[in-house]
Amino acid sequence: MIPLSVVIITYNEEKNIGRCIQSVQAVADEIVVLDSFSTDRTAAIVKELGGKLHQRAFTGYGAQKNAGTALATHNYILFLDADEFLNEELCRSIQQEKERGFSHDAYSMNRLNNYCGQWIRHGSWYPDKKLRIIHREKGIWNLDIVHETLEAAPGASISHLKGDLLHNTYSNFDEHIEKNNRYSRLSALLLYQKGKRTPWFKIVFNPFWAFFTSYFLRAGFLDGFYGFVIAINIAHLTFLKYIKLYQLQQRKKP
């Protein structure tokens, strides 16, 4: 059986970290938590549950996770955020791969998001496919300022696991709206840094298409009221991202 390290990054996650660690104890051979000097009980909970606690000043999500890779002992690593946890089917899938000796370089899984107490099973939020298990020599986290991703090396073999990575998103609408504003600013800046520019018609068309895709094409309406709220917020985020990108490019004009 091939051992598995779990790497979790944290900052003031006392409400979530216990559940996260407990969900992986059946499959983890070590649990490495890289904390950004939390001021709540996060560190104490990690120690109580047998995690290996390390602390490092926060320098970006991708950078923190790459630093966590260096702290892990084993070659295969499962990366989690503190507000995520494994369901039983995903645990079984991971255990089976361990027993087979991990026949692939990396593994993806679906993420199932909880919104205001309801699991969202349709629309643009599901299946929210994520690459989260990888051999340490076969991938690295990129350093994008928002929406960091684990990037597999060219030629790496990737398999998809059964089961869901469960994720608690927002407990109320204010949290969602505030994050839309913050993420849209960072997303616009990232696009600008990558040389992307937007004509005015994208500001009009892209939000409409984002709503239509999530609510109708991907059946977000099957999630009822919250499916509608999520689709509206996806359109809102898209609108904010492009008007902020447009504003950036206007400011840079001579």
pLDDT tens, position by position, 11-51: 999 999 999 999 999 999 999 999 999 999 999 999 999 99
For 232, the domain range is: 173-251
Q: What is the CATH number of the domain that holds 133?
A: 3.90.550.10
Which one, of 93, 225, 71, lies nearest residue 165 by Cα? 93
24 and 149 both lie in a single domain: yes
Residues of the chain with pLDDT under 50: none
Looking at 168, 197, 213, the residue that finishes a domain is 168
Q: Are 231 and 216 in contact (CB under 8 A)?
A: no
pLDDT given for residue 73 in this prediction: 98
pLDDT given for residue 140 in this prediction: 98
d(CA 238, CA 241): 5
Rounded to 5°, angle at Cα 50 from 48 and 56:
90
Looking at 168, 200, 227, the residue that finishes a domain is 168
d(CA 200, CA 203): 5
27 and 51 both lie in a single domain: yes
40 and 110 both lie in a single domain: yes
pLDDT tens, position by position, 153-176: 999 999 999 999 999 999 999 999
135 and 204 both lie in a single domain: no
Average pLDDT, the chain: 97
137 and 183 both lie in a single domain: no
pTM: 0.94
pLDDT given for residue 254 in this prediction: 60
The tally of domains found in the chain comes to 2
85 and 162 both lie in a single domain: yes
89 and 187 both lie in a single domain: no
pLDDT given for residue 252 in this prediction: 72
